[in-house]
């Protein structure tokens, strides 16, 4: 097969390629071949250097004084003496007995919380007692519209005043007890208690709460 037959063969098999313009598809930068000789000569000179030869040099004694130069620039020298003895300090014998000191400070706090709870409970008890007495007086006034005042006074006169005073002193604050006792001594409200509240019921109430 001669050259002409070969050309006809690939033109038949690749018509698109055959239809393309016959130009050089590769390009090079402008002036590439003009500087090519100098570039090749420069690379040859680089390969002639000994691989073990140092390309860069430093002044004599450069590394010996490098640390001092860095310290003088960054002011690290001011902190250097403190690094040997520690940057932070604590008082002498600070950790000796530290656990005991902490326990001694925590114990008063725990005791204070218990006393507050007891104090609140005692106040609630006194409030409840005052509320019970107030409820008895209120119900007595409500049911007294048709009662006999003389009979009520006779029943209340039989209740020992000492029992009521002792109860208030045990379960009420000083200010609250004195105020209630004054009202009891007055007798104006107790005289209106309902005759339906018997002496036995009042005594049972006092026995349960005294």
Q: What is the pLDDT of residues 110-139, one digit of tens each?
A: 565 555 545 555 566 666 777 777 777 766
> What is the mean pLDDT of the segment spanning 96-111?
76
Band of residue 150 on the pLDDT scale cut at 50, 70, 90: low
Predicted local confidence at residue 20, as pLDDT:
76
Name the percent of the chain lying above pLDDT 70.
Answer: 44
pTM: 0.19
Each residue of 134-157: b (16+ CB within 10 Å) or e?
Answer: eebbeebeeebeeeeeeebeebbe
Distance from CA of residue 203 to its chain's centroid?
Answer: 56
CB contact set of 151 (below 8 Å; sequence gap of 6+): 195
Predicted local confidence at residue 198, as pLDDT:
66
**Spatial separation of the C-alpha atoms in residues 78 and 52, rounded to whole Å:** 42
Contact 180, 172 (CB under 8 A): yes
Phi and psi at residue 110, to the nearest 5°: -65, -40
């Amino acid at each position: 097969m001669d050259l002409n037959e070969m050309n006809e063969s690939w033109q038949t098999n690749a018509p698109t390629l055959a239809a393309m313009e016959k130009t050089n598809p590769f390009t090079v930068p402008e002036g590439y071949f003009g500087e090519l000789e100098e570039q090749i000569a420069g690379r040859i000179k680089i390969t002639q250097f000994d691989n073990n030869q140092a390309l860069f040099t430093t002044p004599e004694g450069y590394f010996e004084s490098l640390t001092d130069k860095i310290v003088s620039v960054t002011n690290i020298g001011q902190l250097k003496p403190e690094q040997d003895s520690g940057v932070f300090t604590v008082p002498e014998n600070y950790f000796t007995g530290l656990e005991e000191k902490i326990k001694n400070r925590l114990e008063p706090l725990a005791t204070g919380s218990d006393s507050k709870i007891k104090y609140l409970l005692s106040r609630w008890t006194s409030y409840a007692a005052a509320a019970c007495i107030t409820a008895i007086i209120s119900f007595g006034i409500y049911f007294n519209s048709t009662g006999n005042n003389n009979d009520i006074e006779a029943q209340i006169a039989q209740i020992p005043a000492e029992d009521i005073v002792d109860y208030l002193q045990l379960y009420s604050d000083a200010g609250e007890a004195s105020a209630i006792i004054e009202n009891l001594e007055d007798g104006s409200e107790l005289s209106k208690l309902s005759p339906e509240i018997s002496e036995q019921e009042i005594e049972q109430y006092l026995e349960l709460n005294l």
